[in-house]
Structures are given as structure tokens and as C-alpha cells.
A = this chain, B = another copy of it.
Amino acid sequence: MTTPDSTEDLPTNWGRWGPDDELGTLNHISDAARARGVAAARMGRVVSLALPVRPAPLAGPVPFATGPQPAGVMQMMNFNGSPTRALTDVLIVNTHHGAVTHIDALAHIPLGDQVYPGVPIARAVVGGTVQHGSTTPFAAGITTRGVLLDLAPQGRLRPGHLVTGQDLDEAEQRAGVPLESGDALVVRGGWRIADHLGEPVPAMTVDAVRWMAEREVSLYAGDIGDPPPIRPSGPLAMHQVALARLGMPLIDNAEVTALAAACHELDRHSFLFVVAAAAITGATGLPVNPLAIF
């Protein structure tokens, strides 16, 4: 197995669960983690972490009308007879678009010509679909305990702040609930990336990812990631280290404002975390609606 350059000092799970593993850090979700999750759901109140996406019309009714494109989702209403017998549509989903809350499958980001945990791209993508490291394992549904670490409870992080393990430690202290192996980590920095394109929004560091590896985080969701424009040096902490090396599925573009408000109101930062991506296998990611259930 060829090891990509300069990974010696980066955290990695390549090999930890075997050469064919497709679960990555979801392996941390034990029965105990799941039981901890449902124990945190007491009243049934549910908070969505998804940005609503209004589809752009693929073939608009007004021939010259325009709108933002490439869109995260496009829609075409189908003809079903005249008069119509049913209203149906086809959706075109551009999963990794910045306006779509989505989960990244492990094969999304290769390191050189390999994907987690060392499978050649030529073997991971066959026949026009992903055969290794795809969304397939997500089809079983993901449930575990989630913990919100709010890095800026009074507002938002400073522009360009680089989030470290110490930041996460301090937020954990404030949350009053220690992360345990298999928990999903939800982070709030107070910036909605789509509203700040091209600005120096906060970003995760490899140091923070190292903290996640040590705590055995199973899954990440948050408003902090590897913001464009991509930083010129070093690996992308979340995509090239957490996702590609640790095998940690990432939920990009999560909307955590309502969650933070609920945690504040209820005065607790843990909840049942449910990710029920559509059972579409072989994809590089899927739009999701992560739910925090209190």
C-alpha cells in the first residue's frame, strides 16, 4: 500500500478496521453510544440542522427568467396528461453545493490516487458509481448521542479564527457534558458560510481534528469547516484529514442556530442525533436533514 507523502504526523485510521472498511469512525458507535443517544431524548422535541433548499426550476415557465445557478437542487414538474392526473417532479441534486446540508461519504476526497483506507480510485469507482467508501453504509440510518459545542455562545468567533483543540476543550467545559467515544460532535462558531463568501470565516485546524480523533468522535456536523477560498498551505483539516484519513463522515453546511437556541433554552447540550439519509447507495454524499431530538 502506498502511503501518501507527509502523513506520518497526521492522525489516521487507515488500517485500524481492516483494508476494506467502509464505516470509518462510525465504528465508534457502539450499543452504549446508541443507548446514550436515546436516553437524551426525553420529550420528543425535534430540531432540524438542515438549511432549507428551494429548488431552481430546470425549465422555468417564463422562457427568459433567470436565477442562481449552479443550484444545489433543480426541479422539473412532469407532464402527466392534460388535465393532469398527478403532480410529480424530477429533482437534480448537486449534493456538494454550498447551499445544501449534506453528508460526505468517505470516498469523497482522495489522497493521491487512493481513498480511505487505502483503496485505489480505480477500484473505488467502477461502472459509473462508487463501489467503495460510498453512501452505502449510511442507508442503515445513523443514531447516536450528539453534543453541541458552542464556541461563541454570546455571538460569533472572530473573523479568520482558527479553531484548536483547546477551543473545543473549553466549549466542552461550558457545555457541562463530556464527549464520549461514538458521540456525534456538533460545533457552532456563529458564521453561516453562504452569507460570507470570500470573507475570512473561521476554519478548523489539524489540531482540532487531532482532538476529535482522540475523543473518538463518530460524526461531525457544524458551521465550521474548510472554507473557500482554500488555504494555500497544509492539508484541509476536515476534508483531507478528518474525512480522508480518519474516515469521519462530515455533515457540511449544517445550520446550528436553532439547535444552539434550543440547548440554551433547555439548558443542556446533549440530545439524540439522527441522520437518515435516503437509502441511495454508491454516491459520494447525500443531502441530509440531521435531527436533534431532545
Contact = CB atoms under 8 A, between A and B. Distances in A.
B57 A128 contact: yes
Nearest to A51: B279
Copies of this chain in its oligomeric complex = 4
A70 B57 contact: yes
A228 interface: yes
Contacts of A130: 77, 87, 89
Interface in A103-133: 107-110, 112-113, 115, 121-122, 124-125, 127-130
B75 A78 contact: no
Contacts of A31: 43-45
B53 A279 contact: yes
Contacts of A121: 81-82, 84, 87
Interface residues of A, number: 110
- Max chain B C-beta neighbours (<10 A), residue from A31, A74, A82, A144: A82
Contacts of A36: 44
Interface in A264-285: 272, 274-285
Contacts of A68: 66-67, 69
Interface stretch (A1-9, A18-26, A286-294): A286-294
Given A48-B139, A87-B107, A107-B87, A55 B283 contact: yes
Given A87-B115, A279-B53, A284-B87, A34 B60 contact: no
A234 interface: no
A85 B291 CA distance: 31
Given A48-B140, A52-B139, A125-B79, A291 B278 contact: no
A162 interface: no
Interface of A: 31, 33-38, 41-48, 50-71, 73-99, 101, 107-110, 112-113, 115, 121-122, 124-125, 127-130, 136, 139-144, 194, 197, 228, 272, 274-291, 293
Given A35-B43, A58-B94, 5 more contacts: A33-B44, A69-B74, A77-B125, A82-B83, A278-B289
Which 5 A-B residue pairs are closest in the complex by CB-CB distance? A34-B44, A69-B69, A57-B128, A77-B79, A50-B279
